[in-house]
Amino acid sequence: MPRASRLLELMQFLRRRRTPVSGQELSKTLGISIRTLYRDIALLQEQGAEIQGEPGLGYVLRPGFTLPPMMFSVEELEAVVLGARWVAARGDSRLRTAAEDVVAKIRAVLPTAMRDQIDEVMLTVPVVEEPLTVDLSALREAIRTERKVTLTYQDEAGAGTRRTVWPLLIGFFDRVMILAAWCELRADFRAFRIDRITRVEPSDARYPGRRHTLVEEWRKRQKKPAPARN
């Protein structure tokens, strides 16, 4: 295994561990001698990695150190590019631009060989041809700031209603996007199809409670076999 790849694998292994891990376990996992492990740890420490510990006691990586983007493996690059393309194909204009910027920033600092991996990535996603009916950035901002919004929403029969909701999550599915929210009209959690929302009116009013608590409660409800109706 090339040394650069080995150093990356060592860092990734230490990131996943929150408690000290022995040198013997590290060397066995990486398939290297204990002496080589000590040299690799010393090199990473010289480059700024806060790896604490010593032989016989174990090692732990303190938060805050990241390797440069050029240390991505080919599979990691493919995952990043595929995810960015998926977002670009399904998100609103701001998300699409952000996804393209992420790939451009990574590409700019990669060596030529790895840049080619991005340009020639073999994975792709289908383009969604149905345009969005509303600006998702308003919903995302309301979710981030835990603020209520009023939706104009159409049911399957085309009847329109106005709902004041507490937006929690946006789910991206293969052919449809869903807004999970607490609906004040129904006094319960509801799932709203994004393509049936015709208007979003942001509010300055914060909804009661914290979003993460509501999300946990919503997730518990999803495990119960109860039909959801709007």
Alpha helices in the chain (DSSP H): 3-16, 23-30, 34-46, 74-90, 93-109, 112-119, 136-145, 211-222
Domain 3-61 shares a fold with domain 136-222 = no
As a whole number of angstroms, the distance between CA 168 and CA 147 comes to: 10
pLDDT band at 209 (very low <50, low <70, confident <90, very high): confident
Per-residue CA distances from 186 to 95, 143, 166, 194, 218 (Å): 31, 20, 12, 18, 15
Domain boundaries, the chain: 3-61, 69-119, 136-222
Q: How many other C-beta atoms can be found within 10 angstroms of the C-beta atom of residue 44?
A: 19
pLDDT higher than threshold 70 for residue 145: yes
Q: What is the pLDDT of residues 39-77, one digit of tens each?
A: 999 988 887 788 888 667 789 888 765 555 446 777 878
Q: Kindly report the backbone phi and psi dihedral angles of residue 61, in degrees, each rounded to the nearest multiple of 5, phi listed first.
A: -100, 120
* Token pair for 133: 């009916």
Give the DSSP letter of residue 21: B
pLDDT higher than threshold 90 for residue 129: no
Per-residue CA distances from 173 to 88, 141, 217, 225 (Å): 14, 20, 21, 20
Report the percentage of the chain scoring pLDDT > 70: 86
Q: Kindly report the backbone phi and psi dihedral angles of residue 138, in degrees, each rounded to the nearest multiple of 5, phi listed first.
A: -65, -40
Pairing of strands 160-172, 177-183: antiparallel
- Looking at the domain that runs over 3-61, which CATH code has it been given? 1.10.10.10
β partners of residue 177? 172
β partners of residue 152? 162, 199
As a whole number of angstroms, the distance between CA 168 and CA 210 comes to: 10
Give the DSSP letter of residue 71: G
Per-residue CA distances from 109 to 68, 100, 217 (Å): 9, 15, 42
Report pLDDT for 133. Answer: 76
* Stronger pLDDT, 126 or 160, i.e. the higher one: 160
DSSP per-residue letters across 138-197: HHHHHHHHTEEEEEEEE-TT--EEEEEEEEEEEEE-SS-EEEEEEETTTTEEEEEEGGGE
Greatest mean pLDDT among 20-24, 105-109, 162-166: 162-166
Report pLDDT for 48. Answer: 79
As a whole number of angstroms, the distance between CA 164 and CA 185 comes to: 7
Q: What is the pLDDT of residues 164-193, one digit of tens each?
A: 999 999 998 877 889 999 999 999 999 999
136-222: what fold? SH3 type barrels. (2.30.30)
